[in-house]
Each structure stands twice: as C-alpha cells, then as structure tokens.
Amino acid sequence: MKKIFIVTGEPSGDKLASTVISKLKYINSEIEYLSVGGSNLKKLGINSIFDLKDITYLGFTIVILNLFKIRKKINYTVDEIIKFNPDILFSVDSPDFTLRVAEKVKKINNNIKTIHYVAPQVWIWRKNRVKKIKKFIDHILLLFNFEKKYFDEENIKNTFVGHPLLETKESAKTIIDNLLPKDKKIISLFPGSRKSETLILLPILIKFIQLVNDHHKDFFFYFHVTKENKSSILNIISENNLPNVDVISDENIKLNILSKSVFAVSKSGTVSLQISNANIPSIIIYKLNPINFFLFKLLANVKFANIINIINNREVIPELLQKECNAEEIYKTVIYFLKHPELIKKQLTECNETLKGIKSKTSSSDVSSDILINYLAP
C-alpha cells in the first residue's frame, strides 16, 4: 500500500491540505496516511501525531521564546516520518516548520518524494530561501502564477495550481435564512486562526462592536473562527454581554453568512482573498508587538500586508495596522464605507479585476491531487 505523510503548521494549512487529500481519497482509496494536522484532516479519518496548536506561534519573539519546543517537535516529526516510511512527504504552507522537517527527512531518506504546497513568500522576503529549497524539495505547487519566475530561475520543478479559495464551486446548500436575524445588516469578522492572533484582535473587535452598538441598532455580527477556537471565543462574547453577536465555525455556514454580509473586517491573510472572491467589501486589520513589526518592516520587500494591495502596489483595501488597528479607527472606516456606496463599488471593481489576473482556470485540488498520484505511480 502506498503511503503519504502530510505536514501542516497551522489551521489554514490543515484546511488547504484537506481540499487536496479529499480529492485524492476519491481517486484512490488505497493510500495510507499519517499527519501533523488539525480538524479538517481528522474529518477525513487521518490521525495527527500531535495537536496542531503545539506549533502554532505568531511573530519572531514568540517563535524565539518557543524555539526549544519547536525544534523538539521538528525532530519528533522527522522521527515519525522516517518510521512511517512514506512514498511522499506532502508539506503544506508554514515553511518555517514544514520545510525544516522536509529538509531533515530528505537528508535521512532521499527516496521519499517531497512535494510542497503553497510556496514560501519569497517575493515578500528572504528570496535567498529559493536556493536552499532546491536541495530538498522535488516539486513545489504554487498558488499564484507570478511566483513561477522565482522557482524557474533555480530550475526547481514547480506547477501553478491556483488558489483553492478562489475556485468557483458549489458549496453544500445550508439553509440559514431561519437562523439569520430579521431586519439586521450583517458584518462578518475574521479574528484569525492562531490563538496568538485572536488574543490581540478579539478585544479590539469587541470594542468595535460596542462602538457600533452605541450609535446604531441595525447591525448583527458574526465571528468566523476555527472549531478549535470557537468555545473560548464564545465565552469571551458572553462575558461582554453582546446579544447581537454569534460565533460560527462550520465552513458551509461561514460561506453562506459571508455572502449575506454588507461588510467584513478581516485579519491580514489568505481569508481576505475569499472575502474579495465573495464580492464583499472589507478592510484589513493586524497588530504585532513592536519588535515583531519592526523586524517585519526591516526584512519585507513590500509596502502592504494584503495580497490584493501588494499586486496593485497601492491600497485597494484599507489596511489598519499597528496603532491604527484600534476600535475607533475600525468603526470610523467601516461606517464611512457603508455611508459611501461609491467607495464600496470602486473597491469591489478593483478587487474583481485583480482576482481575474491571478485565478487559475483549473481546480487547485484537482491539479495537486493529480501530481501526487503521478508521484505514487510505479
């Protein structure tokens, strides 16, 4: 029986991996799996060798403080992969964890094929990583076509597969109309999947909700969260006595709620692409501790945090970062947009034009699963 070991480093990677593996399971049910994964891979019946939250850290300083733990997990993961002896090591995103694992595995057993999904963002920073990756990655699967040149330059086998969040697909119909509040405008809130993100952004978003409630009575808020974070966020909501707030983690319900929203406030990251793809106006928020932010600005080759803005080299979607990431600024920006529909129309038009340029004509999970199947062939 053929074997695949899947390595992810955070919930978003687990979600991306599951889109590929679910397709692969449909094509070939005779493959054995083991993983470092989360709830999405678990749904597919794939065990994880430890809890994903054990390695989900954000920011340079937090990573440095947990360096010993991370190294220990890397070495443990490598040992388990070597014991499992897979045909393919399928690593997904989170390069500072997954690629370190792949590098060590390749040194021990060169027969294991290493395929990495979601290229490290060398176009943002640390471009020299490409030369190193060449030594231990057999094939890299790219989300964006503009990434190809960086890997072509070093003759690294790569395929543009497209971004799964930008695929047009029929989601399972979830009847939510009876669950929605009557005569209320919905604002969707995305505080992030990492605990370290939600600890910073959740209090700011709660203050934002309180500000809206002080001045308006016609809004309802939905926090879009992971299953792992849902209960803790629900507890915080109930402590703050916010009756016009709910927390959702089911993927189909999230998509349905988002499609019925008048606006979204999102942390910086890939979810912002999903929001733009749903044709919902939004703003981006993010906050790092000052040391992490200074290091990011020092090392980064880009001016913006959001991929839409990076591609356009200007602010299409407003970014409220660091000092500007506060309840008052978020409130002012959101209400200003809602009062000026021409600004919303302009943002959505520019986002749609940008997305046209980066969407793949094929399904990311289809192309990725086909590549994995080809590597499993005798």
Q: What is the pLDDT of residue 292?
A: 61
Cα dihedral value 247, 249, 251, 252, nearest 10: -50
Question: CA 174 → CA 179, 257, 264, 317, distances in Å?
Answer: 11, 10, 20, 29
Measured CA to CA, the distance from residue 32 to residue 24 in angstroms comes to 11
Residue 180 identity: L
Cβ-proximal residues to 19 (8 Å cutoff; 6+ apart), any chain: 164, 364, 365
Place of tokens 């360096």: 67
The predicted model scores a pTM of: 0.81
> In this structure, how many other beta carbons lie within 10 angstroms of the beta carbon of residue 234?
16
Place of tokens 């799964």: 164
Q: What is the pLDDT of residue 2?
A: 97
Regions of the chain where pLDDT drops below 50? 58-61, 171-173
21 contacts 33 by C-beta, under 8 angstroms = yes
Measured CA to CA, the distance from residue 113 to residue 156 in angstroms comes to 14
Which two three-digit tokens encode residue 45?
Answer: 């019946």
pLDDT tens digits, one per residue of 310-347: 889 999 999 999 999 999 999 999 999 999 999 999 99
DSSP secondary structure letter of residue 48: B
Measured CA to CA, the distance from residue 43 to residue 94 in angstroms comes to 21
Dihedral sign (CA 265, 267, 268, 272): negative
Cβ-proximal residues to 310 (8 Å cutoff; 6+ apart), any chain: 124, 302, 303, 304
pLDDT tens digits, one per residue of 104-141: 999 999 999 999 999 987 765 567 788 899 999 999 99
Cα–Cα nearest to 59, from 285, 286, 271, 274: 286
DSSP secondary structure letter of residue 172: P
Helix residue ranges per DSSP H, 300-363: 307-312, 327-339, 341-358
Beta bridge partners of 158: 140
Cα–Cα nearest to 367, from 124, 164, 127: 164
Place of tokens 């912002």: 272
Q: What is the pLDDT of residue 64?
A: 58
Measured CA to CA, the distance from residue 78 to residue 85 in angstroms comes to 10
Question: CA 134 → CA 147, 153, 262, distances in Å?
Answer: 15, 11, 45
- CA 88 vs. chain centroid, Å, equals 23
Question: CA 367 → CA 19, 21, 300, 322, distances in Å?
Answer: 11, 12, 31, 38
- Identify the structural domains of the chain with CATH numbers, from first to last: 2-167+361-376 (3.40.50.2000), 185-358 (3.40.50.2000)
> In this structure, how many other beta carbons lie within 10 angstroms of the beta carbon of residue 110?
11
